[in-house]
């Protein structure tokens, strides 16, 4: 499963987003600034397609404080989302068969 150490440090998200997957569940982590407050927005969506090519109706997101202490919370949330719907995610694995 995903660990907080698998995610980049806060400074990375100042300039870029991060994507990954857990057996069919794809995720996209970005810095968001709703109302001028910096936050992490973490998206999950089924594979096999990338974030931009996946219908918005298939995406879910959650906001977290934009701080290093949120990284373990993000990893825990992603793991929980995978574990509660593993059968669903496994139906949406990569087109490459991994």
Model pTM score: 0.91
Q: How far apart are CA 42 and CA 67, in angstroms?
A: 13
- What is the pLDDT at residue 34? 84
Over 90: is that where the pLDDT of 2 sits? yes
The DSSP bridge partners found for residue 21 are 26
Tell me the pLDDT tens digit for each residue of 61-89: 999 999 999 999 999 999 999 999 999 99
Instruction: Give 4's contacts (C-beta < 8 A, 6+ positions apart).
Output: 71, 72, 74, 75
pLDDT at position 89 is 93
Residue 18 has pLDDT above 80, yes or no: yes
Alpha helices, H only, the chain:
10-13, 70-84, 86-90
Which residues, 6+ apart, have CB-to-CB distance to 20 below 8 Å?
A: 2, 6, 26, 27
- Average pLDDT, stretch 40-67? 96
């Amino acid at each position: 499963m995903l660990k907080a150490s698998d995610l980049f440090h806060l400074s990375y998200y100042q300039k870029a987003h991060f994507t990954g997957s857990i057996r069919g569940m794809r995720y996209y982590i970005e810095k968001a600034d709703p109302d001028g407050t910096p936050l992490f927005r973490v998206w999950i969506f089924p594979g096999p397609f990338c974030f931009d090519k996946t219908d918005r109706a298939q995406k879910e997101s959650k906001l977290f404080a934009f701080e290093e202490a949120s990284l373990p919370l993000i990893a825990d949330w992603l793991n929980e989302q995978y574990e509660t719907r593993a059968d669903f995610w496994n139906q949406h694995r990569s087109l490459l068969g991994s």
